[in-house]
Amino acid sequence: MTHSLQYLKAYDEQLRTHAETPSAVRVRVEGPLRLVTFAGGSGFITYQDLDGADAAGIAALVATALDYFRADPEISEVEWKSRGHDKAPGLHEALLANGFVAGDAESIMIGPLEALAADVPLAAGITLRIVTTEADVRAMSAMADEAFGEAANARRADSLIAHLARNDGMELWVAETNGRMVSAGRLEPVPGTDFAGMWGGSTLEAYRGRGIYRALTAARARSALAAGKTLVHSDSTEFSRPILERSGLVQVSTTTPYEWKR
């Protein structure tokens, strides 16, 4: 079995379980689906597989899942997380028919943490730190929204603050220059697995290409190794994928988010 297939097997078996959503407020199991509610009014739909359902069965699952979230007035948005290697006939069409909009596909990257942990020289004037206060978390979240070309999302910040309060090992890292946050990312060690997840990697456009994101990634990797983890997984945009590939991670599949908004 190749490294890529070994990593994909570990991903499906270890991560596509309750371990995928440690900050869930509640979880409802509906057939093969896990319907997850997060703080801040967001829903999330995931699964290990679709249990061999045909197109009609998948259409029924999509409708049932959306009905569940529609019935909760606190839910303002829902994400269905698809994976490119799943057998899912008719899924794309069923999601669109129910008002979901497909986002950009991202690469599922997996590899050894040690490959990312090398010392990376920081650009002049750049410092790294972990943020923990509400004010810092909100500033970090707003900066990340700006980096992705989106308006600041207070509910996303609320969700991060609620997750941080769980004290489950998540770390929020930022890079700063002259007191301004210019890059950020979070580290989420996954309990009971070999993995730590790296998420939310973002750098303001004017600061890209200076090695800042790579240094932030290395710092998170060293922290995860110190916590006893050996593998890293990340859903990577085309900006971050080449950086991770150069560090020894491999693309094992793709993931496409489908989003519904009330």
Q: What is the pLDDT of residues 12-60, one digit of tens each?
A: 999 999 888 877 889 999 999 999 999 888 999 999 999 999 999 999 9
pLDDT at 1 over 70: no
Q: How far apart are CA 6 and CA 87, in angstroms?
A: 19
E strand intervals along the chain: 26-30, 33-38, 42-47, 77-83, 101-102, 106-112, 126-131, 171-177, 180-189, 195-203, 231-236, 250-261
Task: Kindly give the residue spans of alpha helices, DSSP state H, lying in 54-211.
Answer: 55-70, 91-97, 134-147, 154-165
Q: What is the pTM of this model?
A: 0.80
Q: What tens digit of pLDDT does each residue of 157-185 get?
A: 998 998 899 898 999 999 999 999 999 99
What single-letter DSSP state applies at residue 150? Answer: -
pLDDT given at position 218: 93
Domains observed in the chain: 3-106 (3.40.630), 111-253 (3.40.630.30)
